[in-house]
Amino acid sequence: MGVQLRADEIFAMSDRWVMHTYGRIKLAFVRGEGSRLFDVEGRSFLDFVSGLAVTSLGHGHPKLKQAIVEAAESLLHTSNYFYILPQAQLAERLAEVTGFDRVFFANSGAEANEAAIKLARRYQVKSGRAGRYEVISAINSFHGRTLATVTATGQPKYHAGFEPLPAGFRYVPLNDLEALRAAITDTTAAVLLEPVQGEGGIHPCTPEYLQGVRALCDQHGLLLILDEVQTGVGRTGTFLAAEQYGVKADICTLAKGLGGGVPIGAMLATEEAAKGFEPGSHASTFGGNFLATRAALAVLDVLFNDGVLERVPQAAQRLWKGLKGLAERHPKVLGEVRGLGLMLGVELKVPGSRFLNGCLEKGLLVNVIGDKVLRLLPPLTVSDEEIDEALRLLELVCEECASECQDSAS
């Protein structure tokens, strides 16, 4: 990497040359180990963000490192004009653990969702229903940053400035089956939902709702697309969150934790839904390359063979119980605790920026959504001791915030 720069030099270089699309926190990390990150100044931080649910095995996992090294020493990329062994192996493994029949590989969640939208529309065309093109998604959803997926996202703030948006999208409230029923028309092609809304504030679907959506899709000949970009790959305690709902989608999308930090996205489909695509229908230059698929195979190996996935519910219960206790002890600071598995959110009754900065000062990395919801996404490999440490640090921040509230009231 050459000469190590100071933090202020890194900040200045980035601010000068990198396009200003992120509101960045003044930290520059240079090394990671397990659930910890170390910045350029040598400070240690307990990582309960995981790169936004990406570093599913934490940092520097030996099996993931070995897979990346082996790819670098043999072959990184050819083209999808040719057969790629680890791609085929990964597709087979994903089919085995999910029950889907076909996989399309991309590089991100947005690309996987874009592919899903295209597949749903083209499936309807090839099924003799060319007038069906509209996709219904939920208010407060988040599905990506391409023009189509940002339009599918049910949050107007992400639409601003990109008008005119593509036609063919409408939005309904989450967990309101009657609203969805009323929104279905002769032009509806598919319903696109997150089992747990991530960027929308950690709002899970209710089982009754998701099961009802499946029934409505069957009744009207619609495809059900489940966006498991954030909830998938074990994040919620099962490989797919939909497993806990007893619901099988027609199309499912994955990304984030699938590569453990190496970019990869995947769109999974039933054999029937996959009929919408044929050679030339869709493609991705980098999708499913040697590096990404070898990394993902290593992630799945660790999840299923090293006991990581089966431990997630236990770790989640420990964190959930601790957060509920914090909320009970500090009702002026914290509100409702919600989520699924190791994807948890807590309503904040104090400014989110204040709470976030308090955590950073104590060496805990967390994420705050919309300045009002604390989002916790620790690595799936997080230990009980690290969960307890995070809870102790959160307690200290809560005590500070509660004291400030008392001072301002007096």
Question: Per the residue annotation, which of 256, 277, 290, 355 is the catalytic one?
Answer: 256
Could you give phi then psi for residue 320, rounded to 5 degrees? -60, -50
In the residue annotation, 248 being an active-site residue is answered as no
Could you give phi then psi for residue 362, rounded to 5 degrees? -100, 5
Question: Per the residue annotation, which of 45, 48, 104, 227 is the catalytic one?
Answer: 227
Burial class for 22, CB neighbours closer than 10 Å (0-12, 13-18, 19+): exposed
**Residue bearing tokens 């954030």:** 230
**Residue bearing tokens 């240690």:** 44
Question: Per the residue annotation, which of 104, 142, 169, 277 is the catalytic one?
Answer: 142
In the residue annotation, 101 being an active-site residue is answered as no
How many alpha carbons lie under 13 Å from residue 153 in its C-beta half-sphere? 23
SS3 call for 262? strand
Residue 379, C-beta contacts closer than 8 angstroms, at least 6 positions apart: 34, 35, 47, 50, 55, 56, 57, 58, 59
In the residue annotation, 105 being an active-site residue is answered as no
Among residues 42, 380, 343, which one has the least CA distance to residue 203? 343
Could you give phi then psi for residue 239, rounded to 5 degrees? -60, -45
- Cα(311)–Cα(397) distance, integer angstroms: 28
List the structure tokens of 50: 């995981």
Cα 276–chain centre separation: 26
CB 135 within 8 A of CB 116: no
Among residues 224, 176, 169, 174, which one has the least CA distance to residue 197? 174
List the structure tokens of 127: 């099924």
SS3 call for 310? helix
Active site residues: 142, 227, 256
